[in-house]
Structure 1
Amino acid sequence: MIYPFTKQDSTVDHYFSHTIADPYRWLEDDRSTETEAWVANQNKVTFDALSHIDFRDDIRDLIATGQDYKKTSQPFKRGDYTYFYQNDGLQNQSVLYRSKEEGEFEVFLNPNTFSEEGTTSLGSVSFSKDASLVAYSISEAGSDWRKIFVLNTETKEQIESPIVDAKFTDISWLGSKGFYYSSYDKPTGSELSARTDQHKLYFHEIGKPQSQDEIIFGSKEEEKHRYVSGYTTEDDAYLIITAATSTSGNKLFIERLGVNNPTRITVLAHTNSDTYVIENEDSQLLMFTNLDAPNGKVVSYNAITCDWKDIIPEQSQPLEVSAGGGTLFASYMVDVLSQVKQYDFSGNLLREIELPGKGQVTGFSGRREQTDLFFTFTNYVTPPTIYQFDAKTGCTELYLASASPFDNEKFESTQVFYTSKDGTRIPMIISHKKGIVLNGKNPTILYGYGGFNVSLTPSFSGVMASWLELGGIYAIPNIRGGGEYGKEWHNAGTQQKKQNVFDDFIAAAEYLIESGYTDSEHLAIRGGSNGGLLVGACMTQRPELFKVALPAVGVLDMLRYHTFTSGEGWAYDFGTSAQSEEMFNYLLDYSPVHNVKEGVEYPATLVTTADHDDRVVPAHSYKFISELQAKQLGENPVLIRIDVNAGHGAGMPISKSIDLMADVYAFTLSNMKVNPFE
């Protein structure tokens, strides 16, 4: 394999008593013609190599066929209409439909018309309290920067100029007067990579230009917060403001609305917990919090007396809470599987809800007066199935079965537990065809994340199902850093405990090999974003253990990640190289960009990223592949696939998603020397 030339310069950085070379710093300039040419040259080599895989087109056809069925979301009611999202099969973006009572369905918003290539996606959709207006956001080319449009819901006509340059924002209405949204000042330099660190909450009044939008929270006179959001209670009695300096923990403030000169009440002045308001009854605010309760609990907060009272005490499993039909739904993770209980607002148990099987459920939310709620059940081999739930009687009935062509009777998922390096017990779910022979030769993808309190719960993916149909095994361990066992599980994989995450993942690979599922010649590892870091760290620490490595949109330069966009907000999980010399040394010890060594044979590697990723900037991937191509020993190819006009992943058109995964699977199987069609 002849790789494109990548120049090295003499850039160095000084950290405490250390001097660190950064020869590929020039690739951080995402606007330069030099970087653009480098991207084109890398893609040329990569796509040429992929084009020589005989079964690549067959895999693409298989994935496309598996995705070509009608997919429908849970419905929700606003005003006189019932709304739902639907994709007829291979539409690049799902369409928002609506109907009135039992009338005909009509298209309400069709994001496939927003851009010719389907690269503009629909984000938040928020209706005014009387449902006469709707505000919706769009993302262009996958960027986190958003535009917000406002329509009259009856005529579907745009009523004013769009809000521009919103970012990391919800949209929350105050009656039909206007709405709250969040953004940063547009940075100097590249809007895709320049640092953004002061988030602001604005109120936009309908009929007024954006230049007159009032800053509600986050003005220059106030303390900087990287993440600020504001939302109103359903009765418009309170504005709830959350402010955070990192992705974990938030301050909480409330303001009484509808009164002259409202006073801002500080509910929590620190960021030692994740706390948010679920519902309210007049001045009683029902809140989720993990303050002094790592698994989470529900409390009542009196906005007048500022008293706290436990409503649903902490349990031994982590908790998520939703509200609908004037009740609360407590969803617990029991060894990663869902268990749901319904409570009244006083914390009295109404019932434990019988679920269709072992897996994940989402939903159980709606307006207070709405008693017919919906939830979706899924697991790794069960396509999403929607159920209707009566909040008064507890009766459940099938609402909509999946139209997926996947025959789940031929496949199975098994949960196992294995032991990590330090003795910690880790769960893992392994999915494959029934009757598979444990001969140690099965092509296997080990997928992981391990960070930011994110839980990998069982959910169906048509693309993953295609891997199973190809005869592959898909294994997903619930490693530390996630939220599967509450806040303590998350904290056990952060900062100077981050190595636990990599050890857990490596132990999962060793379990699969020792148990006869696969061997090192048939084992691939994959993960995206923080999961891309996971793959990069594990392949540089244990290169002999894996045949293929697939880091996607990964955080790979751990010394400089915090200098891009809002990256410094990830410091709760990672720490930063400027934090202390001890933290610098810890990061340097596992940073994938800095741990590629000369004379080592690394796994066959396909790095994937996108040129408009402004969450984890593509320079991470550019630098990592440059190090690999300069130092790789042996014949395993190390390539990078760079999507153009795409971002971190959200809103990617189905056509691009199918192309991407066809290339990932083809590359993986080709390097394992497996032709799945023979």
Structure 2
Amino acid sequence: MKNPRWRAAVAAAIQLCALGLLACAGAQLGGREPLPGNGPGGKPMRTATETAVGMPPAAPALVYPVTARVNVSDSYFGTQVEDPYRWLENLDSPQVAQWVAAQNALSQPRLASLPQRAWLKARLTQLWNYERYEVPVKRGGRYFYLHNDGQQNQSVLLVSDGLDAPARVLFDPNTVRQDATVAVSEFTPDVRGDVVAYAVSDGGTDWQVWRFRRVHDGADLPDILRFTKFWGVSWARDGSGVYYSRYPALPDGRGDDSGRPAVYFHELGTAQDHDRLVYEVTDHPTRIPAGRVTDDGHYLIITLFDGYERNGVDLLDLERPGARVQHVFFAWDALYTFIGAHGEELYFRTTKDAPLGRVIAVDAR
């Protein structure tokens, strides 16, 4: 190897190979600067030593409480429907209390550790805590309305004896129980504004319990109506009582919302067990009736509910003892919503031949 020309050629080849390797390495590394990690694509890789000694332990896997399934089913019109979690509906049972406590023990520490939680709480508090009034209802010169000062868990039912008169508290649900989960869900004063029927719901349930309170002294009458939800009450013109829709009762004393309610009349001063049956559906399994008295007390408008696209309407003349129910809208071809009445003329908003709705008048005779 004394030939200098050959020796120069070998040196040049070595340099070219080195440059080629550097170029390849540069292409793999993505440029002149190396990627930060030691794994594929520059991702960091833990060594066995780091995993065993130097790295923090992995977060423990969440273990959710076991939710028992029970063998419960119901038959709906010949179809058997399983309801394995029915036991969770018994909110007062020790089993449900234990299940809720276990769920809270799992979820609350994780929720409390969220870094955004404090900001979210502050912002939601800012958005929610403002004074608010609901639209007042005028009866007999008095004004009834719900009010919340922005700091109360539940709105308070107030009454004033005139537009310029100061309001006073008729019923404050925040004082019923320490956890403030009882709310006024509805209220309906009588025509003269002397008695207000008010419904309370407990813990967010749809079930309502109606009571009747004298306005002048804030005292409750002994009357209580149970097994109701959604449909409200409608006062007789003379203030003697209310029409309402009542669900059947189960043997254990709870309301049965798998059954169909019927319209009853409750006379003030009597027990609910003595309420008079006014109207029930006997020819269809899913239609639900609800009654509303016209402002002049002449008619009971009975709306039949079975979904949100169409309904039926029947009519009962309250001024004719023994009068039979008349069909007003029974084709079930559209929605018919009662607006009000003027004498014998009844007004409805309907979607019949009017997808955006229109107002029609019907002669009750």
TM-score normalised by structure 1 residue count = 0.40
User: Which consecutive residues of structure 1, in runs of 5 or more, have no partner in the other structure?
Assistant: 14-21, 305-678
After superposition, the Cα gap between the structure-2 partners of 1:168 and 1:104, relative to the gap in structure 1 and judged at 3 Å, is closer
Task: Give the AA of the match of 1:177.
Answer: S
Is this contact kept in 2: 1:187–1:195, CA < 8 A? no
Is this contact kept in 1: 2:139–2:190, CA < 8 A? no
1:29 maps to 87
1:51 maps to 112
Verify: 1:181 aligned to 2:244, yes or no: yes
Alpha-carbon shift at residue 51 of structure 1 (Å): 1.4
* In 1: Cα distance, 2:257 partner to 2:170 partner: 36
Aligned counterparts, 1:636-655, within 5 A = none
* In 1: Cα distance, 2:101 partner to 2:197 partner: 38
Alpha-carbon shift at residue 118 of structure 1 (Å): 1.2
1:279 maps to 340
Verify: 1:131 aligned to 2:189, yes or no: no
Q: 1:66 aligns with which of 112, 118, 127?
A: 127
Task: Give the AA of the match of 1:129.
Answer: V
Is this contact kept in 2: 1:199–1:225, CA < 8 A? no
2:273 maps to 211
After superposition, the Cα gap between the structure-2 partners of 1:280 and 1:50, relative to the gap in structure 1 and judged at 3 Å, is same
* In 1: Cα distance, 2:344 partner to 2:232 partner: 24
1:105 maps to 167
Aligned counterparts, 1:276-675, within 5 A = 276-304=337-365
* In 2: Cα distance, 1:94 partner to 1:200 partner: 30
* In 1: Cα distance, 2:216 partner to 2:297 partner: 23
After superposition, the Cα gap between the structure-2 partners of 1:94 and 1:302, relative to the gap in structure 1 and judged at 3 Å, is same
Cα offsets for 1:132-162 (capped at 9, x unmatched):
2211111111111111111222222112231
* In 2: Cα distance, 1:227 partner to 1:125 partner: 21
* In 2: Cα distance, 1:27 partner to 1:260 partner: 48
Q: 1:251 aligns with which of 299, 312, 327?
A: 312
Cα offsets for 1:44-72 (capped at 9, x unmatched):
21112111113313321232233232212
2:63 maps to 3
User: Which consecutive residues of structure 2, in runs of 5 or more, have no partner in the other structure?
Assistant: 1-60, 74-81
1:618 maps to none
Q: 1:91 aligns with which of 132, 147, 152?
A: 152
* In 2: Cα distance, 1:81 partner to 1:9 partner: 53
Is this contact kept in 1: 2:248–2:257, CA < 8 A? no
* In 2: Cα distance, 1:109 partner to 1:261 partner: 38
Tell which structure's C-alpha radius of gyration is larger. 2
Task: Give the AA of the match of 2:339.
Answer: I
Task: Give the AA of the match of 1:2.
Answer: L
Task: Give the AA of the match of 2:224.
Answer: P
Is this contact kept in 2: 1:286–1:300, CA < 8 A? yes
After superposition, the Cα gap between the structure-2 partners of 1:249 and 1:188, relative to the gap in structure 1 and judged at 3 Å, is farther
After superposition, the Cα gap between the structure-2 partners of 1:88 and 1:276, relative to the gap in structure 1 and judged at 3 Å, is same
After superposition, the Cα gap between the structure-2 partners of 1:62 and 1:180, relative to the gap in structure 1 and judged at 3 Å, is same
Cα offsets for 1:464-485 (capped at 9, x unmatched):
xxxxxxxxxxxxxxxxxxxxxx
* In 2: Cα distance, 1:123 partner to 1:243 partner: 22
Cα offsets for 1:137-188 (capped at 9, x unmatched):
1111111111111122222211223112222221100120111111211246
Is this contact kept in 2: 1:3–1:42, CA < 8 A? no
Q: 1:122 aligns with which of 184, 189, 207?
A: 184
Task: Give the AA of the match of 1:86.
Answer: H
Is this contact kept in 2: 1:97–1:108, CA < 8 A? yes
After superposition, the Cα gap between the structure-2 partners of 1:191 and 1:43, relative to the gap in structure 1 and judged at 3 Å, is farther
Structure 1 residues 169-178 or 158-167, which shifts more? 158-167
1:169 maps to 231
Cα offsets for 1:70-97 (capped at 9, x unmatched):
2122333221222332211110111222
* In 1: Cα distance, 2:152 partner to 2:68 partner: 43
Is this contact kept in 1: 2:201–2:208, CA < 8 A? yes
1:40 maps to 101
* In 2: Cα distance, 1:10 partner to 1:88 partner: 45
Task: Give the AA of the match of 2:233.
Answer: I
Is this contact kept in 2: 1:198–1:225, CA < 8 A? yes
After superposition, the Cα gap between the structure-2 partners of 1:224 and 1:216, relative to the gap in structure 1 and judged at 3 Å, is farther
* In 2: Cα distance, 1:170 partner to 1:261 partner: 25
After superposition, the Cα gap between the structure-2 partners of 1:181 and 1:190, relative to the gap in structure 1 and judged at 3 Å, is closer
After superposition, the Cα gap between the structure-2 partners of 1:82 and 1:295, relative to the gap in structure 1 and judged at 3 Å, is same
**Number of residues of Structure 1 aligned to a counterpart in Structure 2:** 292
Higher relative contact order (CA 8 A, sep 6+): 1
Task: Give the AA of the match of 2:290.
Answer: S
Is this contact kept in 2: 1:240–1:254, CA < 8 A? yes
Cα offsets for 1:10-34 (capped at 9, x unmatched):
98x9xxxxxxxx9xx6433223755
Alpha-carbon shift at residue 216 of structure 1 (Å): 1.1
- RMSD, matched Cα: 2.7
2:301 maps to 240
Task: Give the AA of the match of 1:120.
Answer: V
After superposition, the Cα gap between the structure-2 partners of 1:109 and 1:130, relative to the gap in structure 1 and judged at 3 Å, is same
2:8 maps to none
Q: Percent identity?
A: 25
